[in-house]
A = this chain, B = another copy of it.
Amino acid sequence: MAHIHNFSAGPSILPQEVFGQASKAVLSFENMGLSLLEVSHRSKEVVAMVDRTIALVKDLLDVPDGHAILFLQGGASMQFYMSALNFMKEGGKGGHIDTGVWSAKAIKEAKKIGTVVEVASSKDRSYSYIPKGFTVPSDLDFLHYTTNNTIYGTEFFETPKSPVPLLADMSSDIFSRKCSVADHALIYAGAQKNMGPAGVTLVIVKEELLGKTGRNLPSMLDYQVHIKGESMFNTPPVFPIYVSMLTLQWLKDKGGVAWAEQNNRAKAELFYNELDRNSLFTGTAAKEDRSRMNATFLLKDESLEADFSALLKAANISGLKGHRDVGGFRASMYNALPLESVMALVDVMHSFEQQKG
């Protein structure tokens, strides 16, 4: 079968090598004579595997001591609620930066717990930019933001300055570029972009800030419970964690986050240069805030969409349909997407211009 260029927004492309290793582990894991899918999560082999995954996260992101690393379930959607529940005091208030659909969902869930202050928003221009120059009130319990906005194609390239604990949803750009974990009280990320398959959520949380809300938390929504249980308070999603371990090991072998950032810059530059040069297309995000992970763009003449889609299909380019809120197209260029796939896309855009221009 022809090689597919996988631009899916998530779940999304992972390294080919990872698929080979994961496929083997489904048949036989380590030297246990058993499938990874049928062994106890408390077996020494699985415990060692989870420990290895934690060590890789710590190494790749330079996680300082005092920040715990957890693998949970429920994705960012569960974290929208859980993060506020663990950081918003009884009668307190949380601050949020609203940069689109995912931020809005986090705000919605936090409002079920207490007062939400919208510190900044880019809603006025259809979330096409990242708010800047705002002031964060110092009486908030936290400031929450979404580092990369998959739907609107914008990304924070500078960490917001905050006098209160900073919480970040990094689902779609974690491991894609350097970020300062030390500046954050909490980072969470659904695995299914740069880290692994669907079914596991990475949480990195500064331990000394926990247990201060005055709330009696449900066990499964209490970071302290999971820290005490070393991510095994309940049965963890073993296989998704394993595939994450393989993906992070692949990243480390390639040169870590610095390698990923360099590579992602090159891919984004290649794509956006063509977007700006090509007379048929236009980008939707402010140039300085354009995401390196998700490039959102439109055909100036919408009636050409079907023709362009047909060319993409013929070139084995998959997953380029834009989100319904923005329309048009979206090229997701996560860590595992090779430069060659972006070259293939750029070639199609170029050919299309020659054909229609």
Cross-chain contact of A240 among B26, B196, B237 (Cβ < 8 A): B237
Contact B199 A239 (CB under 8 A): yes
Known: A77-B220, A81-B218. A240 touches B11 (CB 8 A): no
Shortest Cβ distance from residue A77 to the other chain B in the assembled complex, whole angstroms: 4
A227-267 at interface with B (beta carbon < 8 Å): 233-240, 243
Contact partner, A198, options B35, B108, B238, Cβ 8 Å: B238
8 Å CB interface, A3-57 against B: 3-4, 6, 8-14, 18-20, 22-24, 26-28, 31-35, 37-41
A34 close to B318 (CB less than 8 A): yes
Size of the A side of the interface (Cβ < 8 Å), in residues, is: 68
Residue of B nearest to A218 (CB): B81
Of B2, B12, B109, B319, the contact of A33 (CB 8 Å cutoff) = B2
Query: Once the chains bind, are B8 and A35 in contact (CB under 8 Å)?
Result: no
Asked whether, in the complex, the Cβ of A239 is within 8 Å of the Cβ of B197, the reply is: yes
Q: Complex: how many Å from CA A10 to CA B234? A: 11
In Å, the complex CA distance between A220 and B197 comes to 20
Cβ-defined contact, A40 with B73, below 8 A: no
Instruction: Indicate if the CB atoms of A199 and B8 lie closer than 8 Å.
Output: no
A306 at the interface (CB under 8 A from B): no
Interface 0/1 of A97-129, CB less than 8 Å to B = 000000001001100100000000000000000
| Nearest Cβ on chain B to A190's Cβ, whole angstroms | 6
CB-CB nearest in chain B for A16: B35
* A192 beta carbon closer than 8 Å to chain B: yes
CB neighbours of A41 from chain B (8 A): 11, 198
